[in-house]
Amino acid sequence: MRRIWKAAAALVVGCMATLTPVNPAHAEAGGTTSTDVTFTGSGGVVLHGTVRTPPGANGRHPAMVMLEGAGNRGRDYLRTEAEVFARRGIVTLIYDKRTEGYSLLHRDYSVLADDALAGLQLLRSRPDVDPAQLGMWALSEGAWVAPIAANRSDDVKFLITVGAVGTTPAAQTAWGYDQYLRHAGVTDAVSRALRMDVLPAAIAAGLFPEDDFDGVPQWRRVRQPVLAEWGELDRDSVPAQSRQIIGDALVAGGNSRYQSRIVPGTNHNLHATKAEGFDRQPEMPDDYGAVETAWIESGRISEVTVAPASDSAADPVVVAPWYHRPVALTVMTVLLLAGFLVAPIRRREGRTGAMWPVRTLAVVGPVAMVGTVGYLMFLLASAGKVIGPVVLGRPIPWLMLELLTIGTAAAGITAAVSWWRSGRSRRGRVRLGMAVGAAVLLVPWVASWGLLAP
């Protein structure tokens, strides 16, 4: 019954795609033609895309829906790849990923798979497309989506993946952080803090959608021919381990039409690289698309046996400890801010000799606390790729936060001595005690994020 409903849904989507008006075609450089299209994805969301057709297209051609990686960069992100494949005789569809139901904090690969199938039905309805050679090309995160789509429709005749990940998204992300930070000359302490402390805390706070997604069950069910590709200098997708995991899953599922290749001298998206794979250059190898085109036509290629430069495996991401979970972090933030900011509110209460360290705490304490979380979250959001200048194996902001923490501890010690000697009132002593207590709490709290690790 479920298959009947799925088939009916696919038929409806296909009909809607064929009825969707398209804009006039435009000639592109290289003789290809582009046509802007719209089609209806999952949940009735209207998606906008561009179909590129080969030069002088006559008769039917192979065709691919092209799925971008993480984020929503728009269809132009894959425009060059789509153009190259079109020049080689393949009709391509690139489209803007949905914004409704896909964001930094929410995504659903199942929904994205239905969007991709809606695009596939649009291509299938075209008179210049050969339905027997209709498939999907998927980059990075898109390679988690493509197997789901393939398992839902026999209209998907082949899959080509670039930089597919075999681990969970969380494990792959942590591995990538380590790659980029080490390349920047950052010590293991910073990398470990990001991987073992900040990332688990973000997951616990619900800031990492689909963090534990396991693509292996989907790969085991794929029966279509698969060509899986990784760049030799791929620094993002755990290439050696992912190649093994995905290959084992396909073999375990009985898929004998699977091939993989490592493309020499290329990065995560199979482009040329000027920094050992740690960059994103627009240039592509001169023969880009040739192997894939030949594989679509013949079903076989000569596999490249060169090993990826990054052959390490990703470790599972640990579960955040209780003190890095949202409730504990909220309580700690309130306690620290109260301790730092309440004490200097009233200035004239007995002797004022203890006021300057308290006022110092009121400034450097909150800056150290907020700065630590803010900078670590920035590293998380930038995937460890934007860290600034590095001195002594530490990013300068990291060093500054360490100095602020040390300054807070020194001011706290001074305030404690002054508090002990002070003739202040009982109420004043309580507020001073709060400031000193906040300084005492700040040091282990900052250390729990790895900030003071050697």
Q: Residue 174 contacts by C-beta under 8 Å, 6 or more apart in sequence?
A: 194, 195, 199, 314, 315, 317
268, 231 Cβ separation under 8 angstroms? yes
Domain limits of the chain? 2-187+210-298, 322-447
The pair of three-digit structure tokens given for residue 355, joined into one six-digit string: 């006021």
Return left, alpha or beta for 292; rule: phi > 0 is left, psi -120 to 50 is alpha, else beta.
Answer: alpha
118, 19 Cβ separation under 8 angstroms? no
Length of the chain: 454
Identify the sign of the CA torsion 201, 204, 205, 210. Answer: positive
Q: Of 31, 282, 292, 274, whose CA–CA distance to 161 is shortest?
A: 292
Whole-number pLDDT of residue 273: 95
Per DSSP bridges, beta strands 394-395 and 390-391 are antiparallel
Return left, alpha or beta for 422; rule: phi > 0 is left, psi -120 to 50 is alpha, else beta.
Answer: beta
Q: How far apart are CA 430 and CA 435, in angstroms?
A: 9
In degrees and rounded to multiples of 5, residue 137 shows phi and psi of -115, 125
Whole-number pLDDT of residue 242: 97
115, 42 Cβ separation under 8 angstroms? yes
* pTM score, whole prediction: 0.86
In degrees and rounded to multiples of 5, residue 390 shows phi and psi of -115, 130
Q: How far apart are CA 173 and CA 185, in angstroms?
A: 19
**Locate tokens 């590095």: which residue?**
390
The pair of three-digit structure tokens given for residue 288, joined into one six-digit string: 């880009």
Per-residue pLDDT of the chain (454 residues; tens, 9 = 90+): 334 334 444 433 344 343 344 456 665 656 899 999 999 999 999 999 999 999 976 889 999 999 999 988 999 999 999 999 999 999 999 999 999 888 878 889 999 999 999 999 999 999 999 999 999 999 999 999 999 999 999 999 999 999 999 999 999 999 999 999 999 899 888 889 899 999 999 999 998 989 999 999 999 999 999 999 999 999 999 999 999 999 999 999 999 999 999 999 999 999 999 999 999 889 999 999 999 999 999 888 887 778 899 889 999 999 999 999 999 999 998 888 888 887 665 554 444 445 677 777 788 888 888 888 888 888 888 877 888 888 888 899 889 988 888 888 888 787 777 666 665 556 566 767 777 888 888 888 888 988 888 7
The pair of three-digit structure tokens given for residue 23, joined into one six-digit string: 């804009």
- Cβ neighbour number for residue 7 with a 10 Å cutoff: 13
Whole-number pLDDT of residue 296: 96
Name the H helices within 56-152. Answer: 79-87, 109-124, 142-152
Whole-number pLDDT of residue 359: 76
Q: Residue 126 contacts by C-beta under 8 Å, 6 or more apart in sequence?
A: 51, 63, 91
48, 34 Cβ separation under 8 angstroms? no
3-state secondary structure the chain: CHHHHHHHHHHHHHHHHHHCCCCCEEECHHHCEEEEEEEECHHHCEEEEEEEECCCCCCCEEEEEEECCCCCCCHHHHHHHHHHHHHCCCEEEEECCCCCCCCCCCCCHHHHHHHHHHHHHHHHCCCCEEEEEEEEEEECCHHHHHHHHHHHCCCCCEEEEECCCCCCHHHHHHHHHHHHHHHCCCCHHHHHHHHHHHHHHHHHCCCCCCCCCCCHHHHHHCCCCEEEEEECCCCCCCHHHHHHHHHHHHHHCCCCCEEEEEECCECCCCCECCCCCCCCCCCCCCCCCHHHHHHHHHCCCCCCCCCCCCCCCCCCCCCCCHHHCHHHHHHHHHHHHHHHHHHHHCCCCCCCCCHHHHHHHHHHHHHHHHHHHHHHHHHHHCCCCCCCCEECCEEHHHHHHHHHHHHHHHHHHHHHHHHHHCCCCHHHHHHHHHHHHHHHHHHHHHHCCCCCCC
Strand segments, DSSP code E, in 22-127 are 25-27, 33-40, 46-53, 61-67, 91-95
Query: 2-187+210-298: which CATH topology?
Result: Rossmann fold (3.40.50)
In degrees and rounded to multiples of 5, residue 106 shows phi and psi of -150, 130
Strand partners, 144: none
3-class secondary structure, 261: strand
Q: How far apart are CA 332 and CA 139, in angstroms?
A: 41
Q: How far apart are CA 447 and CA 413, in angstroms?
A: 18
